[in-house]
Structure 1
Amino acid sequence: MFSMICGFVTNIVLDPLMIFGIGPFPTMGIRGAAIATVLGQFVSLAVYIIIYFVRPMPVKIKMSYMVPDKLMIKRLYSVGIPATLNMALPSLLISALNGILAEFSEKYVLVLGVYYKLQTFIYLSANGIIQGIRPLVGYNYGAGEHKRVDKIFKTAMKLTVSIMILGTILAWVIPYQLIGLFTANPETIKIGVTALRYISCGFAVSAVSVTCSGALEGLGKGMPSLFISLSRYVVIIIPAAYILSRFIDANGVWAAFVVAEFVTAIYAYITYKKNTKIESK
């Protein structure tokens, strides 16, 4: 985290200096922003290397470890490819929903973009918990500690649900202020508040699919996790958004989020139980 912060701070500081040509830097515009980003990444790498040598670590980098291992590569890609697709699916969803919303007004497209910026704060917090449980679930499941895996899963579920409930409360208590961070247009804010209240009804339920998907990845079961994400981002929500928008206009798109979260939550929980076969005592 410290290494990443060093890179972010470097990027943030260098951006205005290199874009606008402040101090010793020439004016480079968007090229300066790109260079600042790369320099920030180099700073993060440098901090990683310094920490590696200064603080003793149990894992060492050696050339002998660079020899390809077919079994290891297979195991890495069996989880890595589905995880990569999981990250790409939201972009596919936004593109599809933009196409549906564009039929009504560009304001709805803007509101969808605003919503995704806002929900990032909520879902990134939940994903932080999910990333934390992945190694714990994997280690304990491999050691045959099924009761502990079950406990970790339930604890993560409670924490994730709590975050989502907090997000729901904020969406209902201060929706005008949240949407107002991105636009001053009264009509757009009104549309955004309606969208936020619709979509937030599925926040708490989404914790089930998010937790199940993350836990399955921790167990090395990438494909079941991918199927959960496909259900959540493509299979259910896109057809639901199109059908509901024919009946209740653009609000049907917002309602589709809730429908998708409830259906996917049921599927995700069944999939998780089927793939883990944890014995409850």
Structure 2
Amino acid sequence: MKENKMGSMEIKKLVTTMSIPIIISMLVQALYNIVDSIFIARVSESALTAVSLCYPIQMILVAVACGTGVGINALLSRNLGLKKQKEANQVAVHGLFLAIVNGLVFALIGFLFSKQFIQLFTNDAEILAMGISYMQICMIFSFGIFVQITYERIMQATGNPGYNMVVQGVGALVNIILDPIFIFGYFGFPAMGVTGAAIATVIGQIIAMLLGIFITKHKVKLVQIHVREFKMDLTLINSIYKIAIPAILMQSIMSFMTVFMNMILVSFSTLAVSVFSIYFKLQQFVFMAVSGITNAIIPIISFNYGARHKNRILETIHFSLILAVGIMFVGTIVFQLFPEQLLYLFNASEDMLMIGIPALRIISISFIFAGMSLILCSVFQALDHGKNSLIVTLLRQMIILVPLTYVLAHQFGLNISWISFPITEGICCILSLYYLHKVKKETINNLDNEEALLNG
């Protein structure tokens, strides 16, 4: 069998070649999210508000999909590093099973509870109707995104991130093409507004899912997925979720943070909620680039953890931190210099600019700190220290950030409240570096360094 490049390729080249396709695919996904909001903003402010209120639930859905994918990715990579082919195959098959189960659970939740969720924020009949329609469609057909992400993580774990770029790129392109057709009613289709945006979203996800299945079956040779060989192994599922649950909670916390932030901001105006949603869509271009690196290094570190290559793990960590700081520095400069131009993409009114410009400038001060924390949290996950990741993320997204924002907003006003982001990220970056020191001492330095033995 062909040797897995994650155990042999030079680290800088490996991290770069693994990261770039994932970054490109994530940036394409971020572009879709922004284009989607740009089109919806041109329907009405109410339409943008409706979709903004649904966004936290979409984030939870993606958190479960991606978090489960982290568990699949890490465990699959580790078994490949240990040369346990049969076990690796079973991880992949169980991942597909979990994707289908999760899709069914979210479909049921979306069908039964969409109205109750939107009513937490508004009783406006127009916003309520649009929000319910958008949320139900996205959740009932969520099997597409669950299965798609599972196959993407299998591709990453086997050292084939380029296929991720193809899968996500095609799905996002389909979304972008269908959005104006379904939203505004072109080529004989009725103008469906927010409902049309939701339909375009799920069609893109299902097409990406089908492409992922096809590519994995015909191009990925390190893992074989045979559904007939599936036999439920609760111990294996437990092992996947031992890694996945901290990752799910880490990403879900952001969703809950958004809900609580919306509750704080709506007391000022619904426009403040829209500004915060726009910020999230814009910052995805910066954060998704770093997330591409985190997605790449989890299988690299997991593989070399299984193979007990200490030096390769340390080099991966250090190089990834340098890349993340560089990306976040560029993002900070863009947000500092061009906040008005970024907001104009969303038909920003003068009132929106008054809220949005200081928000973008102040929050972006936190980017470099956040980038370092994101990288280190992924390192902790890959090395079975998911608890550290969970603690840092809880502090970043909830325990410090939300109460601090509430206090600053009510004591000093909306514009000052955004300072809570750089304060929170600075504290959590320091904590992440402390945890890295502990993980090096407790785990990494205790590995048998096979490279040193070979050279010595």
Q: Shorter-chain TM-score category?
A: 0.7 to 0.9
Preserved CA contact (<8 Å) 1:97 1:253:
no
Q: Percent identity between the aligned chains?
A: 33
**Between 181-190 and 123-132, the greater mean CA deviation after superposition:** 181-190
Whole-Å Cα distance in 1 between the matches of residues 178 and 330 of structure 2? 35
In structure 1, the partner of 2:255 is 91
Q: Residue 182 in 1 paired to residue 351 in 2?
A: no
Q: Residue 243 in 1 paired to residue 419 in 2?
A: no
- What amino acid maps onto 2:273 in structure 1? V
1:52–1:118 Cα change, 3 Å? closer
1:10–1:97 Cα change, 3 Å? closer
In structure 1, the partner of 2:275 is 111
- What amino acid maps onto 1:255 in structure 2? I
Whole-Å Cα distance in 2 between the matches of residues 103 and 10 of structure 1? 37
- Residue 58 of structure 1 aligns to a residue whose secondary structure is coil
TM-score where L is the length of structure 2: 0.56
Q: Residue 27 in 1 paired to residue 193 in 2?
A: no
Equivalent of 1:140, from 304, 310, 335? 304
Q: Residue 197 in 1 paired to residue 361 in 2?
A: yes
- Residue 279 of structure 1 aligns to a residue whose secondary structure is helix
Whole-Å Cα distance in 1 between the matches of residues 445 and 342 of structure 2? 44
- What amino acid maps onto 2:379 in structure 1? A
Q: CA RMSD in A?
A: 2.6
- What amino acid maps onto 2:264 in structure 1? I
TM-score where L is the length of structure 1: 0.88
Q: Residue 229 in 1 paired to residue 393 in 2?
A: yes
Equivalent of 2:219, from 55, 58, 71? 55
In structure 1, the partner of 2:445 is 279
Preserved CA contact (<8 Å) 1:183 1:189:
no
1:66–1:230 Cα change, 3 Å? same
- Residue 418 of structure 2 aligns to a residue whose secondary structure is helix
In structure 2, the partner of 1:9 is 173
**Between 126-135 and 110-119, the greater mean CA deviation after superposition:** 110-119
1:22–1:180 Cα change, 3 Å? closer
> C-alpha offsets along residues 156-182 of structure 1, whole Å, 9 cap, x if unaligned?
111111111001111111122112222
- Residue 445 of structure 2 aligns to a residue whose secondary structure is coil
- What amino acid maps onto 1:170 in structure 2? V
Preserved CA contact (<8 Å) 2:287 2:371:
no
Whole-Å Cα distance in 2 between the matches of residues 14 and 171 of structure 1? 30
Whole-Å Cα distance in 2 between the matches of residues 67 and 276 of structure 1? 37
Whole-Å Cα distance in 2 between the matches of residues 204 and 196 of structure 1? 14
Q: Which has the higher contact order (CA 8 A, sep 6+)?
A: 2
Preserved CA contact (<8 Å) 1:201 1:258:
yes
Equivalent of 1:122, from 280, 286, 299? 286
> C-alpha offsets along residues 203-230 of structure 1, whole Å, 9 cap, x if unaligned?
1111221111111122233332111110
Once the two structures are TM-superposed, the CA of residue 47 in structure 1 deviates from its matched residue by 2.5
**Between 220-229 and 195-204, the greater mean CA deviation after superposition:** 220-229
Preserved CA contact (<8 Å) 1:209 1:268:
yes
- Residue 158 of structure 1 aligns to a residue whose secondary structure is helix
1:136–1:34 Cα change, 3 Å? same
Preserved CA contact (<8 Å) 2:355 2:415:
no
State how many pairs are aligned: 280
**Between 224-233 and 64-73, the greater mean CA deviation after superposition:** 64-73
In structure 2, the partner of 1:44 is 208
Whole-Å Cα distance in 1 between the matches of residues 195 and 270 of structure 2? 30
- What amino acid maps onto 1:235 in structure 2? I
- Residue 201 of structure 1 aligns to a residue whose secondary structure is helix
